[in-house]
Structure 1
């Protein structure tokens, strides 16, 4: 097997174990086409997950800022 394909296969195996957790990874035919496809899918999924983490972090920060602004406005109204 091509060394780069063997590397991709190892990464695919690791990714599938992350996805399925304690469940058994379903059997599939191991050939160049399936490994390359699953490798590409794993890379796109990881990239998408990274984007989701950034968006989530941004939304959490904005929510905290809005809450702080709301508290400031609430305190300001009490002083009136």
Structure 2
């Protein structure tokens, strides 16, 4: 996939995260997969996306199930 295609997919995912915060965990995994695809292809990951990857822990493949469960309730009204 070309850089422009991957970047467009990443932009779409970030828009979906903003519109559907309840799907954040799934969308974060998709975003991490796209960033990993960029790295595998030897493409430069822009600084803003690299910072985002750090924020959502893309490099941490040992995601804990309790973390995902906690994310589920982040948007619940009190």
TM-score (norm 1): 0.28
Q: Which has the larger radius of gyration?
A: 1
Structure richer in helix, relative to its length: 1
TM-score (norm 2): 0.28
